[in-house]
Structure 1
Amino acid sequence: MKKQLRKRWKRWKRAIWTFTLFLIIGCLAWAGQTLPDQMKKLLTQMTDESPIAIETLNYLQNSGDLESDEQRVFMQHLNNAQGKMKVHLVTSFVCGEEEQVIGDLDTDTIYSLMNNNPSWKGKMDDNGEVWLEETVTDDLSPTCKEQAYMSIDANGNLTLFEGPPQEEKVLRTFFQLDIGSMESSLPKDVLKQLQDGIRIQDIEEYNSVLSTFSDYARDLAENVMKAH
């Protein structure tokens, strides 16, 4: 009985400290202030028995995402979770994404992982599994490097395809091309190559093709890439 009460008290204590941390950091964020060193020291001393609270503090401080209600809700769910959870990592690249299972981790380990990777975002699904999200802005996914083509779609848009353009598996649409201007100024073999599909194998080729044909965007004011 005493053992159960002790466990229950530890759970309550963790919840109280977590709520206190969220409240303090949230108020400071709203006021546009950073957490004073003295306050950090005091909170660390108060939470010596709660590694989760310390990891929460570190993650919130480093992430710079205090306005994100979604992340606050995620961390509250994480703090209330019991035992180990299946953790996935989804990495989104300039083109394509990859998903992998990291393993079954407890709350403290998940917080340590996120604290070491402050740009990662997290969410918990209805099955209690954790999905961590990473964004890579300077590379293509391995699948894209093997299968991506840049070409023109049926509406005259510069488009990124998974596989040959004939298969019509659109990954991303960029901008509409001025075909008439291209026909009058580009060699025929270059235009044909684009129509057949230019193979994209790395981020340099991706940027090079995009830069080259952006000169033929129909409306430069709308020359903004958009996700398909």
Structure 2
Amino acid sequence: MWNKRTNRSQWFFYGFFCAALLAFITGGVWVSINTIEQQKRVLNTEPSQDIEAVQALARQEVELVLKKTYLCGTETEEKLTKFVPSVDQVLSDYQDWELVSNQGNQFVFKKLVQDIGPSCQENGYFGLSEEGILTLFEGPPQEQKVIQTFFHIDTEKLESSLPSDLVLLKEGIRIHDLAEYNSILSTYGEYSDRSNYSRLTEMEEE
């Protein structure tokens, strides 16, 4: 009886020992695999992070001044700051603009826009000045906020042909876009008295 109990105890001890050894080996293998995977991830990410850091250091801050001139004579100016890798990148990004000046990290560009400006679209009126010159105003002609002047109108000729248009011009004709702007110039260009306008210009210069 004693031998049987001893054998059972020994077999139980051996079984427990083998199970513990197997668990230890399995755990060690898992830890090793996990460590290797972490090292791979570190190796894969570190180079890209280094490249990003170098690229960030290589970028420089520049100040841009963008000036737009519109067909109706108005201008707008926008200032902004950018980070670029080189001066060549700035010139490439604004190759459709004319470089006016470059002082240090400031670049001034200008551009002629083939359209009427925002202020002309929002509140532009064609009318006649006191001298009878076709004029583009900001707001009704009565406010006398001149944006652009064109040519002298032969009011007698216009009144005989289009009497209602003369009244409209005195009150102010609202425009909203480039098509209306060009239409006004084309329509009343037929009634221009450029010789009279030239005399007025010479008097102003004197």
Which TM-score tier does this pair reach, normalised by the shorter chain?
0.5 to 0.7
Q: How many residues align?
A: 139
Equivalent residue, structure 1, for 2:76: 98
Query: How many Å apart are 1:114 and its aligned residue?
Result: 3.2
Equivalent residue, structure 1, for 2:99: 122
Q: Which one of the candidate residues 172, 175, 198 is aligned to 2:173?
A: 198
TM-score (norm 2): 0.59
Q: 1:172 to 1:111 in 2, by over 3 A?
A: farther
Greater CA radius of gyration, 1 or 2?
Answer: 2
Q: 1:170 to 1:111 in 2, by over 3 A?
A: farther
TM-score (norm 1): 0.54
3-state SS in 2 of match to 1:114 = helix
Equivalent residue, structure 2, for 1:219: 194
Q: 1:113 to 1:156 in 2, by over 3 A?
A: same
Name structure 1 gaps, 5 residues minimum.
1-82
Equivalent residue, structure 2, for 1:62: none
Distance in 2 of aligned mates of 1:143 and 1:105: 31
1:29-80 Cα deviation digits (max 9, x unpaired) = xxxxxxxxxxxxxxxxxxxxxxxxxxxxxxxxxxxxxxxxxxxxxxxxxxxx
Whichever residue aligns with residue 79 of structure 2, its letter is V
Identity of aligned residues (%): 35
1:169-207 Cα deviation digits (max 9, x unpaired) = 1111111111111111113x2211111110010000000
- The answer to whether the Cα contact below 8 Å between 2:64 and 2:80 also exists between their aligned partners in 1 is yes
Q: Which has the higher strand share?
A: 2
Equivalent residue, structure 2, for 1:153: 129
Distance in 2 of aligned mates of 1:210 and 1:181: 16
3-state SS in 2 of match to 1:155 = coil
Distance in 1 of aligned mates of 2:94 and 2:131: 41
Q: Which has the higher helix share?
A: 2
* Segments ≥4 residues shifted beyond 6 Å: none
Equivalent residue, structure 1, for 2:148: 172
Distance in 2 of aligned mates of 1:173 and 1:119: 29
Equivalent residue, structure 2, for 1:80: none
| 2:70 is equivalent to residue 87 of structure 1 | no
Distance in 2 of aligned mates of 1:184 and 1:131: 50
Query: How many Å apart are 1:106 and its aligned residue?
Result: 4.5
Distance in 2 of aligned mates of 1:216 and 1:170: 21
Distance in 1 of aligned mates of 2:62 and 2:93: 19
Distance in 1 of aligned mates of 2:135 and 2:107: 33
Equivalent residue, structure 2, for 1:141: 117
RMSD: 2.8
Query: How many Å apart are 1:150 and its aligned residue?
Result: 0.6
1:14-40 Cα deviation digits (max 9, x unpaired) = xxxxxxxxxxxxxxxxxxxxxxxxxxx
Whichever residue aligns with residue 108 of structure 2, its letter is W
Name structure 2 gaps, 5 residues minimum.
1-59, 202-206
Query: How many Å apart are 1:127 and its aligned residue?
Result: 8.3
